[in-house]
Chains A and B, each alone.
Chain A
Amino acid sequence: MPRVVLVASGKGGVGKTTVAVNLALALSTRDAVALLDADMTAPNAHLLLGLPSEKLRESNRMLIPPKVNGVEFMSIAMFFPRGVGLAWSHEKVADMIKTLIRYVRWDSRWLVVDLPPSSIDVNIEVLKSVGHTSRGVIVGEPHRFAFEDNLRMLDLMRLYGVDVRCIVLNKFNLYPNADLIAREYEGLGLPVVRIPFDPELAVRVKPEADYWIPVLGAVAR
């Protein structure tokens, strides 16, 4: 099993997928990396990374993940036509998560998992399955709502034994009280990585950007 990095957030729309994909690509310049988009209802990682051209195969009761841009990649978006919603019970979602984590032959040294926002059941399944052996990155924007939701996410990650390495505060320079919020996070004993607003991140991946270096450092140490 590779070293697992869980990229999580208590709040949606704060740039979790952007961080997960860029982190995976930045890590892939030095090591073999896999990326799992664990968001069953709103998977978006493929919009940044791309979809594989090869088909999923099986070998010895394990699924072989296809590669995209040199990264082993699995996402529910690879299997369902665009725009189709999943009318699934918790049981079916939990089964899919189990398959994607335990029954894929991840050959990489690192597995970056892009989790869905909040403490919904998918996240609990992942935390129960690999939490105690994982490193964690929490993503937020420096405002009160995201802070309150991330307190809950941090509590859950620590409950399941995740080694939370840092808090990434996205679009840092856009918020007037950003420094105040950053100090509150620091008070929780976690390094804060400040990512400036970069409009290019909305349209392309930018793993070469300097602002990822502290995230890489926190995750890989």
Chain B
Amino acid sequence: MSLLPLAWEVKLLFLRLAPKIMARRRELARVVEEMGRGKGGILVLYNDKGEEVRIWAGMSEDGKPEVDIENAGRRRANNEIVMHYSTFKAIVEGKLDPRVAYAHDLIYVRSLDGLPVSFHALLWFSWFDLVKEEIEGLRAKS
């Protein structure tokens, strides 16, 4: 287990991911568009020490994909996705398919807009599939 506070660990992980995300920003922007403007979700990560970090991820009103760690609590969100940090890390490192994590009850989704939880989950899966296809397409080209 890391000795760093969870918030630092998450920020470091995002910093490591940033160049990869920036390299694919055009493709990702297209698939983020699928989610609709102004929409967002809160990602809640926790660890075994009982620490919790909240991250807002979604699209701004002008259609730009955005991630906000500092002001997550003040941003409007349609849903909240809660998971252990190790589950999240495994997903972003490509070691765990988020759909499998959801099927195996490792991810908890809370709806904040009155729609069923599964409604949000199914759209997340669809979005994830598009991201995966874009990344695979990019790999095939390079």
Residues of A within 8 A of B (CB): 55-58, 61, 63, 79-81, 84-89, 92, 95-96, 98-100, 102-103
Contact = CB atoms under 8 A, between A and B. Distances in A.
Contacts of B18: none
B116 A103 contact: yes
A80 B123 contact: no
The residue among B97, B100, B118 with the most chain A CB atoms within 10 A of its own CB is B118
A209 to B, nearest CB: 34
Given A56-B122, A63-B123, A99-B118, A80 B103 contact: yes
20 contacts: A55-B34, A56-B122, A57-B34, A63-B122, A63-B123, A79-B122, A80-B99, A80-B100, A84-B99, A84-B104, A86-B103, A87-B105, A95-B117, A95-B118, A96-B116, A98-B116, A99-B116, A99-B122, A102-B116, A103-B115
Interface residues of B, number: 19
B115 A61 contact: yes
A103 B125 contact: no
B130 interface: yes
B129 interface: yes
A79 B125 contact: yes
A57 B99 contact: no
Interface in B77-129: 97, 99-100, 103-105, 115-119, 122-123, 125-126, 129
B103 to A, nearest CB: 5
A150 to B, nearest CB: 30
Given A80-B99, A84-B99, A86-B103, A55 B126 contact: yes
Nearest to B108: A92
A80 B118 CA distance: 13
A79 B99 contact: yes
B116 A84 contact: no
A105 to B, nearest CB: 12
The residue among B34, B105, B115 with the most chain A CB atoms within 10 A of its own CB is B115
Nearest to B124: A79
B36 interface: yes
Contacts of B34: 55, 57
B104 to A, nearest CB: 5
A96 B118 contact: yes
